[in-house]
Structure 1
Amino acid sequence: MTELAKTFEPGPIEAKWYQHWEEKGLFRPDRPDAEAYTIVNPPPNVTGSLHIGHALDNTLQDIMIRYERLRGKDALWVVGVDHAGIATQMVVERQMEARQDKRTNYSREEFVQKVWEWKEESGGQITRQLRRLGCSMDWSREQFTMDPHFSDAVLKVFVDLYNDGLIYRDKRLVNWDVKLKTAISDLEVETIETKGGFWHFKYPLSGGAKTAEGKDYLVVATTRPETMLADMAVAVHPEDERYQSVIGKMIDHPITGRQIPVVADEHADPELGSGCVKITPGHDFNDFDVGKRAGMKPAEMLNMLDGNGNVCQTADGLIPDEFLGLHRFKKDGVDGAREAVVARMKADGFLIPHVDKEGVEHDAEPRTIQTPFGDRGGVVIEPWLTDQWYVDAEKLAQKPIEAVRNGDIEIVPKTWEKTFFNWMENIQPWCVSRQLWWGHQIPAWYGMKFDEVHSTGAKIVGTEVFVATCEEEALELARRHYLSSSVINDDFSPENVIVVENADAAEDAFWDENKIPIWRDEDVLDTWFSSALWPFATLGWPLGQEPRMAGYSLKQSIYSQHQDPDPMVVAEWNEKRAEWDNWNAAKSRIDKHYPNDLLISGFDILFFWDARMMMMGRQLTGENPWPRLYLHGLVRAADGAKMSKSKGNVVDPLGLVDKYGADALRFFMAAMESQGRDIKMDNKRVEGYRNFATKIWNAARFLQANGIGASDTIAAPDAAKPVNKWIIGEVVETLAKLEKAFDELRFDGMADAIYHFAWGTFCDWYLELIKGEMDEETKAVAAWAFDQILVMLHPFMPFVTEELWGAMGAGERDHYPLITAKWPEPEAGVDAEAKSEIDWTVALVSEVRALRAELNIPWSSRLTLHPLDGGRTDAASALDRQGKADWGEPIDSAPAGSAQIVVAGKSYAVPLADAIDLDAERARLAKAAEAADKEVKSLEGRLNNPNFVERAKPEAVEKARADHAERKEEADRLRAALSRLG
């Protein structure tokens, strides 16, 4: 044994053991023949730092991987980081701005190189922080979504999906971030309430058309007047009687003069405003759908804004010059298009003012508007009509939906299935192109599309697309296409097809050099496209063609002869051998570790990541990526509010680790993780679990002081004494509870089982019951039981358990660390007789202790227990040591001035006249009970008040309920104590 320090200090222990585990390769011990167990971590952004959500997510994963490793499996926890296209480019560009520099001062290649340099110097901070948390990941194979093998997989997937008709280019509306100048997904849009206005305008009908009310105009209300410049219709409900006469008629647009139709569409709500809705399909998602239903093709829809959010001319050239170049909103104190449109409509008499309650006219009616913001750019999102690449998510979603419905994929908790089905069954095309430089550049090249008339000078009528994994393949596709075309010059040769930098360069090459140019798409893929391949691409997918190993016999001849082999031959062989070894290793990993066994993620990335992995897994491998998906909640502030930097309630997990230790934070996360519920941060609870670690530490010191070290057996030792039989049975029962909780992914149940056994059963009772009775049997059982605690607790508190494991068996365990030890196999059962006997003793002493606590009986006063109805009088030693009480003679009835306790249905009288002032104690208890009752009634009044329950903040209502339950429990306890005194 190694003598333990008097005080438990987690910091040095954590640093020592993590370094030891990683250096010795203990996170992935060599177990080639063992059953596999595989999980992958949701790859954090390379720009990220550890937040409290990461702490929860990775703690739960580490608990599972350590558990399965202890069970002897080949446990692989795949670790890596995501290149985080938008986030990373933002970080690097912000640093450039600080130096009065900018991205556009460099070529694409130069800028990307600067990002790589940043990644090598500053990226990956979060992986260092994950080590602080104790995450036992396989760092030897750390992955990055821009690694060469991963990039190859991404390109292959894009090409394969394109060839299968599951990726296509289309003109649709996207969420455009005018600050970042890129499209973003629906999932990256935050809806925030903002103060805005509701403007009412007259749209004049042309050709003498009138409504049923005799008006020669329609009243249109809008919260976005600037988009009027691209209006293409006005919609009314097909059954709205007021407008039957004008459906199909035309409107003379009051600013552009464009003639636009009145269309019938159920999108127009007759009960909302005037029932007339202006339709701007190039700048509103609902309007886009209305426009398509009205027969408008996306290519015909008008776009009035450029990528910076400034007004540009539409295809029909009808926007007046006064609006061109204006920003969509007021910017830097300068009026924008919104203000200019309102001013023009007002000046021309088309604005209908809003009159408030005081009769004062205003241009607009004040409104609170649900406004979309980009979660990274932080500016209002603009629906923008543009050409982008899309994945046919609807088709890819079918097999995952089927897998969840038939139970091939289990979502835990099951309550999330409804949300999953609702999203997947209504899924929209997935826009996967982003207008960035950092990321996987889309493997598509464009070439000129010519008319079908054979001539020496073909007419350019559009573009061709050539999708390939590399430039050489794209060139080959283009050459084949143009060779088979009938519109090229007769003297055309494959060398005429060349690659140029961009579309502008293509024009010069075609007209000036008589070349047929192709140029690569400048966009990159959505980060989630690559991370959707994470479960299998991290293992080496795709394998590709098996390397040919011709020349194996050459190896035999080289090394069998007693002469120096030709260095060139040896080098060639070694290169071939390495190729084969890499291929074989990847095949072995994929065969063994895919599908993975479990995915743990926050519910907030169910559609960002989890569902997309299901889609890609089924489409590309034919298998589900994992059979179980566990979705945990969010970690919230102590008052239940969502954490945010703006609220100032963000908790730094590393600060908690510094203060309480990683083990304490990890155990808190597990204990509070109840399926489907968010976790409220509670530093007191974390501190309490630091005390739990200290309790285990002190138990080890007590054992050492009594000559008890490590056990030398996995199975339970032989035992004859009831107390030893009892603790063996308690280990067996705790192990069963723990394994059931692991099977059901009940992390709170796991923590509860080991906590109550370790602290309550073992430390508080067993160690007390065996004091002074340390024979060899007891020492063996105590050592074994403590070993079981360390092993069962290790997945939750790896650092303190590893330290104690080594200290209890110093020397013996130098080559047998706890991290790779064996999960308990007691090979024992529960001795019912011993359990009954010790449970009775525990209950007896507990009742005596409770009596002392409730009635303020000082420990200096000894108590005497008199059986009233033939109750047992054994366990005298435990009663004496732990209750400071003795047995008295059996009596028929309780004397005056005594209290009663009940154990196992039998009553015992405890005379108290010599222990406390009975009258004073009755008065104290009555007063305290009355005060508690008063608080209970006050809280009941608040909770029964509908105004409070409905209008107060949810956290305030929840606190009132918790206070009510606590005060009610206190009042009941005080009255019970009072009743004991008679």
Structure 2
Amino acid sequence: MNDSTTEDNNSKNDLPKGYEFTEVEKRWYAYWQEHNTFAARMEEGRDSFSIVIPPPNITGVLHVGHALNNTLQDILIRYHRMKGDNTLWVPGTDHAGIATQNVVERQLAAENKTRHDLGRDQFIERVWSWRREKGGTIINQLKRLGASCDWDRERFTMDEGLSRAVRTVFVRLYNEGLIYKGDYIVNWCPRCHTALADDEVEHEPTSGKLYYLRYPYADGSGQVVVATTRPETMLGDTAVAVHPDDERYRGLDKVGIRLPLTDRVIPVIFDHHVQREFGTGALKVTPSHDRDDYEIGLRHNLERRKVMDDRGVMNEAAGKYAGLDRFKCRTAIVADLQEQGFLEKIEDYRHAVGKCYRCGTVVEPMTSKQWFVSVRPLADKAVQAVRDGRIRIFPNTWYNSFYAWMDNIRDWCISRQIWWGHRIPAWTCDACGEMVVAEIDPDTCPKCGSGSLTRESDVLDTWFSSALWPFSTLGWPEKTRELEVFYPTSVLI
């Protein structure tokens, strides 16, 4: 052997000076995929173990929380795979309605366009194009992380099969009376022009002001002082509430309150929700712009007076303040209250302010016609499953949190006033007003036979399709072998 050959062999066998983890991981991951190491088996006589990855948003990138979460899932999956169990880890991504639409709308804004310039169909195609180009980032990052998912089963919440599952569930729940459309108080984002679920509102500690306002009695015999952080909403007040056992206000229900800056007289009502010890013990009630006030309004059959539009601009019900942005209106109203002697005092006040989880705009509670899921019957079943031990929660300290959440749960607003997402499968007959909810697009009204039907423009909350993920990804509503073997899934982290 000559010297040159010896040098060549030595150079091939030399260890690199540093561990080149990128190359090593890339080589082994390719080997695993080539040999279908992560593919799920469905063999008779074996135990089954399955996880569906909580689908990350296609707009996102991995952060340390994803790394921890997916590493824990990967440990469990690899352990059960090595045990010889039928093991499945389903990967995929969420279409992330509001977040994705915002990304594409920002692109259009850079071109001096809006989604309305394109129209609904072209805008949705633009979003699909963005998804094809940019939407795979987080999946590639999961692969780089070494996640041993069955990549041949990768799913997307807007896949054809998952879309069918969404329609099927919606229609079934509607037919069972668990989905309805009606007026209700919602979290409204004036920037995104859509309703938000409670978990889409981020509450941030904020330094604000607490305004003490003098509300005179209608007969001129005195006044009551109320406190608010949002004086602009006083234009929508339809009552003042006090505790029924509060002696200070006994008999006021026969007098009434003259609402400052307006020509309206509003009633005094008695309600146990009011805390006598807090402030003056009197509460201004604005059913259209406060969640607690909305419930009080229902109990006392109060008028709902909406004083803002969907942009957060005061509407005609606001009188001379119509056309003002809500925060400019606040400044104007405070000045007028002070000038007319209705402002008692202003205090610095630290409180939590709800903001849109995507754009950071201050959320406005307001009444709106929306679609809802009646959650209580479903929550009761979830609680029973936990009490029966069919679902276990780790660590045990979270059981009380779970029960508290279920006990205080409210109906879920599932409609969103955007274009990207699962469009609600409902149509209104233009001839007779009949509402048609169907899995297959109808041609005619089943009530009057008219062929003139208008499709609901709203889409479903992203979480509606995500909630179906554990079984829709396994082929439901078809009766598949995957559902038989792997559903219900084993763990949710």
Partner of 1:294 in structure 2? 300
1:306 to 306, 309, 332: 309
**Deviation of 1:271 (Å):** 2.2
* 319, 324, 327: which one aligns with 1:326: 324
1:70 alignment counterpart: 82
8 Å Cα contact 1:47/1:124 also seen in 2: no
- 2: distance between equivalents of 1:448 and 1:345? 47
Q: Is the 8 A contact 1:28 1:74 kept in 2?
A: no
2 CA distance for matches of 1:19 and 1:248?
80
**In structure 1, what is the equivalent of residue 161 of structure 2?**
149
Give the drift of 1:378.
0.3
Cα pair distance change 1:120/1:301, threshold 3 Å? same
5 Å-filtered alignment, 1:856-867, equals none
- Code of the residue aligned with 1:343 in structure 2: it is A
Q: Give the Cα separation in 2 of the matches to 1:398 and 1:274.
A: 38
- CA distance, structure 2, for counterparts of residue 287 and residue 35 of structure 1: 53
User: Please, which of 184, 192, 196 is the counterpart of residue 208 of structure 2?
Assistant: 196
Deviation (angstroms), 1:8: 3.7
In the alignment, which of 11, 16, 19 is matched to residue 30 of structure 2?
19
Aligned position for 1:415: 397
> Aligned with 1:218: secondary structure?
strand
Report what 1:224 is aligned to: 230
Distance 1:151 1:538 in 2: 11
Q: Which has the higher contact order (CA 8 A, sep 6+)?
A: 2
How many Å apart are 1:4 and its aligned residue? 8.2
1:88 pairs with 2:94:
no
Distance in 2 of aligned mates of 1:35 and 1:5 = 43
- TM-score (normalised: structure 2): 0.94
Question: Contact 2:42–2:485 at 8 Å: present in 1 too?
Answer: no
Mapping of residues 576-975 of structure 1, within 5 Å: 587-599=480-492, 601=493
Q: Say which of 84, 101, 110 aligns to 2:113.
A: 101
Normalized per residue, the structure richer in helix is 1
1:264 correspondence with 2:270: yes
Q: TM-score, normalised by structure 1?
A: 0.48
Give the ranges of 4+ consecutive aligned residues of structure 1 lying more than 4 Å apart after TM superposition.
Answer: none
Query: Is the CA contact 1:248–1:263 (under 8 Å) kept in the aligned structure 2?
Result: no
**One-letter identity of the residue aligned with 2:70:** N
Uncovered stretches (5+) of structure 1, i.e. residues with no partner = 330-335, 355-363, 451-462, 483-493, 499-516, 544-585, 602-982
**Residue equivalent to 1:368:** 350
Partner amino acid for 2:381? K
Deviations 1:510-559 (A, max 9, x none): xxxxxxx321111110111101111110011001xxxxxxxxxxxxxxxx
Out of 21, 32, 37, the residue aligned to residue 49 of structure 2 is: 37
Count of residues paired in the alignment: 480
User: 335, 339, 351: which is aligned to 1:347?
Assistant: 339
Q: Deviations over 1:329-355 (max 9, x none)?
A: 1xxxxxx11011112222222222x3x
Give the distance between the partners of 2:33 and 2:348, measured in 1 at CA: 61
Q: After TM superposition, give the deviation of residue 73 of structure 1 in Å.
A: 2.0
User: 1:82 and 1:29 mapped to 2: Cα distance?
Assistant: 22
Native 8 Å contact 1:48 1:124 kept in 2: no
Distance 1:587 1:49 in 2: 32
In structure 2, the partner of 1:133 is 145
Tell me: CA distance 1:200–1:8, structure 2 relative to 1, closer, same or farther (3 Å): closer
Supply the AA of the counterpart residue of 1:406. D
Shift of 1:447: 2.7
Contact 2:49 2:86 in 1 (8 A): yes
Structure 1 residue aligned with 2:191: 179
Amino acid at match of 1:346: Q
Q: Which residue of 2 aligns with 1:682?
A: none
Equivalent of residue 15 in structure 2, options 5, 26, 32: 5
RMSD over aligned Cα atoms:
1.8
What whole-Å deviation, never above 9, does each CA across 1:855-894 have from its counterpart, x for those lacking one? xxxxxxxxxxxxxxxxxxxxxxxxxxxxxxxxxxxxxxxx
Structure 2 counterpart of 1:465: 435
What CA distance in whole angstroms lies between the structure 2 residues aligned with 1:38 and 1:525? 27
Between the aligned partners of 1:191 and 1:449, the Cα distance in structure 2 is 45
1:82–1:269 Cα change, 3 Å: same
**Pairing of 1:151-550 with structure 2 (within 5 A):** 151-207=163-219, 210=221, 215=222, 217-296=223-302, 300-314=303-317, 319-320=318-319, 322-329=320-327, 336-352=328-344, 354=345, 364-448=346-430, 463-472=433-442, 475-476=443-444, 478=445, 480-482=446-448, 494=449, 497-498=450-451, 517-543=452-478
Distance in structure 2 (CA, Å) of the matches to 1:286 and 1:397: 21
1:878 alignment counterpart: none
Displacement, 1:3?
6.8
Kept after mapping to 2: 8 A contact 1:237/1:275: yes
Whole-Å Cα distance in 1 between the matches of residues 379 and 398 of structure 2? 16
Post-superposition shift, 1:313? 2.0
| Letter aligned with residue 28 of structure 1 | A
| Counterparts in 2 of 1:82 and 1:29: CA distance versus 1, 3 Å | closer
**Which amino acid counterpart does residue 267 of structure 1 have in structure 2?**
H
Deviations 1:373-417 (CA, angstroms, capped at 9, x unpaired): 122120111001001111111100112111111211111112111
Residue 29 of structure 1, CA deviation: 5.8
CA contact 1:441–1:523 (8 Å) conserved in 2? yes
CA deviations over 1:151-174 (Å, ceiling 9, x no partner)? 011011000000001111121100
| Bigger strand fraction | 2
Q: For residues 456 and 40 of structure 2, what CA distance do their matches in structure 1 show?
A: 45
Distance 1:371 1:220 in 2: 20
Q: Computing the radius of gyration over CA atoms, which structure comes out larger, 1 or 2?
A: 1
1:108-161 CA deviation, whole Å, 9 max, x = no partner?
111000000000000120000001110011111110000011101101100000
Are 1:252 and 1:258, in contact at CA under 8 Å, matched by a contact in 2? yes
Quick one: distance in 1 between partners of 2:431 and 2:364? 31
- How far 1:435 sits from its partner (Å)? 0.9
- Partner amino acid, structure 2, of 1:398: D
Counterpart-to-counterpart distance in 2, 1:441 and 1:465: 15
Percent of pairs identical after alignment? 46
CA distance in 2, matches of 1:169, 1:198: 36
